[in-house]
Amino acid sequence: MSEYDIEKWGVVTNDNVRKTPIIYVKPDKTFLEFARANEFSVMCEISGTGMGYDTTVKIPGVVNRSSDVPNCRPNYYKKTGQYVVTLDCPWIGYPPKNNGVVKFFGLKEKMDEPVDSPVVELAENSEKEDNKNEYFLPITIGGIAIFLFLFCVIMVIRKNK
C-alpha cells in the first residue's frame, strides 16, 4: 500500500475520559477500494511526526468520511474530500513540526511483517492513570450512597426514641 500524507491531526473522546487521535487523509481511488475491501478497518504505520506515533508497531484504525466523524460536517467533506482514520491508541499530543505520513495495511491484505504481539500502548503512563481512575467514580458514588443510607437510618432511630 502506498503512503499518504497526513493532512491534519485531531482528537476525539468516546467516553469523555480517554482521548483518541484521529488523522485526516486525502483518499484516492486505490485507498477507497482498499478501505471497502477491508470493511473500513485498517492497520496504520505512521512515520515522520517526531513523536511516539512513529513506531514499527501497526496501529489499528477505523476509516470514515470527514462528513461523519468526528461529527456531522457535510460541508467540510464537500470542501476537502478528506477521510478520517480514528486510531486505536492513546492521544499523546499534536506533532510539533510535521504531520507525517501513514502507510495502510489491511486485514485481508498480507502484511509486510507479521504482528505477533498486541499493539503496544504509546503512552504507558496515560494507560496506568486510566486504570487508576476507572473505579474512582463508582467507588465514590457507592461510598456516598452508604453514608446517606446510614445517616437516614440514624435519623429515623433518633426520631423514634
Are residues 8 and 85 located together in one domain of the fold? yes
Q: How far apart are CA 75 and CA 68, in angstroms?
A: 11
**Same structural domain for residues 37 and 114?**
yes
53/126 Cα distance (integer angstroms): 14
Is there a contact between 95 and 49 (Cβ–Cβ < 8 Å)? yes
In sequence order, the 6+-apart residues with CB closer than 8 A to the CB of 130 are: 17, 18
Number of C-beta neighbours around residue 88 at 10 A: 14
One domain, residues 106 and 130: no
The residue that leads in pLDDT, 27 or 2, is 27
CA gap 26, 24 in Å, rounded: 7
- Are residues 62 and 103 both part of a single domain? yes
Tell me if the pTM is above 0.85. no
Based on the fold, state whether residues 50 and 92 are members of the same structural domain: yes
Same domain, 15 and 94: yes
pLDDT at position 136 is 61
| pLDDT score of 1 | 58
Percent of the chain's residues with pLDDT above 70: 81
Determine the structural domain holding residue 25 and report its residue range: 3-120
- Shared domain for 75 and 138, answered yes or no, is no
Number of domains into which the chain is organized: 2
Q: What are φ and ψ of residue 64, in 5° steps?
A: -145, 160
Same domain for 161 and 92? no
Mean pLDDT of the 66-78 span: 79
Q: Are residues 48 and 24 in the same domain?
A: yes
Residues 80 and 45 in one domain: yes
In the chain, the amino acid numbered 65 is R
Residue 143, phi then psi, degrees to nearest 5: -65, -40
Whole-angstrom CA distances from 119 to 9, 59, 63, 122 are 20, 7, 18, 9
Calculate mean pLDDT across residues 18-39. 90
Per-residue pLDDT reduced to its tens digit, 82-138: 999 999 999 999 998 899 999 998 876 644 444 443 334 444 444 444 454 555 667
Please say if the pLDDT value at position 46 is more than 90: yes
CA distances from residue 138 to 23, 128, 143 in whole angstroms, order as listed? 33, 18, 9
113 and 133, same domain (yes or no) = no
Q: Are residues 106 and 135 in the same domain?
A: no
Nearest residue to 45 via CA among 53, 36, 37: 53
